[in-house]
Amino acid sequence: MERMVEILKKKFGDCIGKSSDAIPRQLHIQITKDVVVKISRFLVESLEMRFLFLFASDDRKESHCFHLRYVFSIHHLDQFIVLCAPVREEDVTFPSLTPFLPRANWQEREVQDLFGLVAQGHPDPRGLILHEDWPKDIYPFRKDFVQSGKIPRQKGEYIFEKVEGEGVFEIPVGPVHAGIIEPGHFRFSVAGESILKLEIRHFYTHKGTEKLGEGKNPNQLLCLAERISGDNSVSHAAAAAQALETLCGIQIPKRAQCLRVVLLELERIYNHMADIAGVVLDVAFGFGSAQLARSRERAMRLNERLTGSRLLRGMIVFGGVRNDLLDLDMKFLISEIREMKADFDEVIQILWNVSSFMDRVQSTGMIKKEIVETLGGTGPVARASGVDRDLRRDHPYAIYHELLFMVPVFTEGDVESRIKVKMQEVYESFKLIHEAIQGMPEGNTCVAEVATLKPMRSALGYVESPRGECFHWIATDQKGKIARWKIQSPSFSNWPLIEYAVLENIVPDFPVINKSMNLSYSGNDR
């Protein structure tokens, strides 16, 4: 870390300010905002780091300015770098990264909407989070925003990009859908049934979860985290718990680490089974979908028997896990996953021998590796397009560094590849659960005495959720209370990819493509 600071100071001189590596594997460096693009380009192109995300915080009470933070990953060293640039209230502009790093597009637009900071040079500065009826001078994530007040509405219209030409017309879908899914709008430009362009418009039910977390105690925050996206309850809670525990310098007991792995992999199993079942249903193969739905239901009943919750809620707590698993529970769990694997094997073999199913998923919804890398795609969607990346291996947490597992990667980037990734990950999850149980030591499942949060500190927590990389960044104020909570959900990273996945496909294949990616509206509208 010291070497990294020396390199940056030699390259950028006085633009590099104070640095801190008090948090393990996380280096925080103060910079000036005018060199954000230059330093980011140097980190990405010369030092081969990966840009993860950026966000803002309102620190005017303490330092009379806002701050922008840019998070980078050095996967081969298991390190993170966080660049911190102040933005004065009298000049709320900052240079846009988007022309150089398109994956920053939504993130910078989010900062503009929620904090009122302006990304100069952004190629598409339209509103993102706040819709057209929201007043232009009210920024809900600033500290002086009154949450209990009634927001006056104004007239406005979101301008969709047009595709013009003979025989081209638009098909609007949503935001209200026929099923029970949350609202999201899709605007297709088509010629016949062939899709020429798709533009998505989301954030109809933004919950302001990050704002709600301010001032909460750790376990209240974890309760909120579990509700970001219901079927990823464990992932979000575990990532937030890791950030909180890192802030306090807590090392949770080894038994608790093993149990967290078991919970995370149980969550991955029922999610992936549901995803594959959804694709199978959308191609009208009812028998296969019913069998997979039955397997998913068995997995969720197993969750309820072990934890009392089908979604595994309430198990992750600050400092460990709430309840232990008895020897009898573990024997039952091993027996169940053995039978579930045999059942899953049989259904998958049937699927791969149904020609009508294979015809609908092969070469459908292809996303090139270059597009995934450029837009910052993550999780099974990225691995199906040849991106060999998994936080469990590259930035291991809990006891993943002690476990042997394969990261499945395919290169075609189509619906079939996304199914294959999830299918193989289910098998790996079965093995990981068995290995975690076999190596689980005796001992406590939570730290004996939970420490209080330290003031003026910040830390990053992360997990590889079923949908991909899930990051939680938490900062405390001068009194040790939570001052800022940033949630980077995998769905927020992956939604822009669907606009490319559907190109040159036909409209009836959109549900299949959409389900193969299985992006969360709730996780996106966090």
Cβ-based burial of 438 (10 A; exposed 0-12, middle 13-18, buried ≥19): exposed
Are residues 219 and 98 part of one domain? no
Predicted local confidence at residue 20, as pLDDT: 85
Predicted local confidence at residue 15, as pLDDT: 84
Predicted local confidence at residue 361, as pLDDT: 94
**In-domain check, residue 151:** no
Band of pLDDT at residue 339, cut at 50, 70 and 90: very high
Indicate whether 141 pLDDT > 70: yes
Mean pLDDT score, 23-51: 93
Contacts with 489 (C-beta within 8 Å, 6 or more apart), sequence order = 228, 229, 236, 467, 470, 520, 523, 524, 526
Q: Give the whole-angstrom CA distance, residue 338 versus residue 331.
A: 11
pLDDT, tens only, 341-367: 999 999 999 999 999 999 999 999 999
Where in the sequence is the domain holding 282, given as residue range(s)? 209-524
**In-domain check, residue 164:** no
Predicted local confidence at residue 1, as pLDDT: 66
Q: Sign of dihedral through CA atoms 401, 405, 411, 416? A: negative
pLDDT, tens only, 152-199: 888 888 888 889 888 899 999 988 887 778 899 999 999 988 999 999
Are residues 253 and 104 part of one domain? no
Q: Side chain identity at 326, as an amino acid letter?
A: L
Cα 14 from chain centroid (whole Å):
35
Mean pLDDT score, 504-513: 94
With vertex at residue 71, the alpha carbon angle to CA 218 and CA 397, rounded to the nearest 5 degrees, is 55
Q: Are 417 and 363 in contact (CB under 8 A)?
A: no
**In-domain check, residue 467:** yes
**In-domain check, residue 373:** yes
**In-domain check, residue 148:** no
Predicted local confidence at residue 462, as pLDDT: 97
Indicate whether 464 pLDDT > 90: yes
Decide which of 86, 120, 154 is a domain's last residue. Answer: 120
The count of structural domains within the chain is: 3
Band of pLDDT at residue 4, cut at 50, 70 and 90: confident
Are residues 186 and 251 part of one domain? no
Predicted local confidence at residue 180, as pLDDT: 75
Are residues 192 and 88 part of one domain? no
Say whether 210 counts as a known binding-site residue: yes
**In-domain check, residue 275:** yes
**In-domain check, residue 453:** yes
Higher pLDDT, 19 or 376: 376
Q: Give the whole-angstrom CA distance, residue 231 versus residue 309.
A: 12
Are residues 375 and 290 part of one domain? yes
Are residues 189 and 229 part of one domain? no
Predicted local confidence at residue 449, as pLDDT: 80
Band of pLDDT at residue 11, cut at 50, 70 and 90: confident
Are residues 382 and 240 part of one domain? yes
Are residues 334 and 238 part of one domain? yes
Say whether 487 counts as a known binding-site residue: yes
User: At 414, is the secondary structure helix, strand, or coil?
Assistant: coil
Within 10 A of 131 (CB to CB), how many other CB atoms are there? 15
Which helix (H) or strand (E) segment is 256 a member of?
helix 254-282
Q: Give the whole-angstrom CA distance, residue 103 versus residue 261.
A: 30
Are residues 295 and 187 part of one domain? no
Band of pLDDT at residue 75, cut at 50, 70 and 90: confident
Decide which of 120, 144, 159 is a domain's last residue. Answer: 120
Indicate whether 95 pLDDT > 90: yes
Q: Which of 412, 409, 424 shows the shortest CA–CA distance to 365? A: 412
Mean pLDDT score, 448-456: 83
Are residues 192 and 103 part of one domain? no
Are residues 224 and 338 part of one domain? yes
**In-domain check, residue 143:** no
Q: Which of 145, 10, 4, 144 shows the shortest CA–CA distance to 74? A: 4
Higher pLDDT, 182 or 490: 490
**Average confidence score pLDDT of the chain:** 93
Q: Which two tokens stand for residue 479?
A: 């009194």
Q: Are 489 and 526 in contact (CB under 8 A)?
A: yes
The number of residues in the chain equals 526
Which helix (H) or strand (E) segment is 278 a member of?
helix 254-282
Q: Which of 401, 365, 364, 369 shows the shortest CA–CA distance to 388? A: 369
pLDDT, tens only, 306-321: 999 999 999 999 999 9
Q: Which of 138, 82, 92 shows the shortest CA–CA distance to 457? A: 82
Predicted local confidence at residue 58, as pLDDT: 95
Q: Are 66 and 57 in contact (CB under 8 A)?
A: yes
Indicate whether 491 pLDDT > 90: yes
Are residues 311 and 174 part of one domain? no
Indicate whether 450 pLDDT > 80: no
Bridge-based pairing state of the strands 65-74 and 118-120 = unpaired
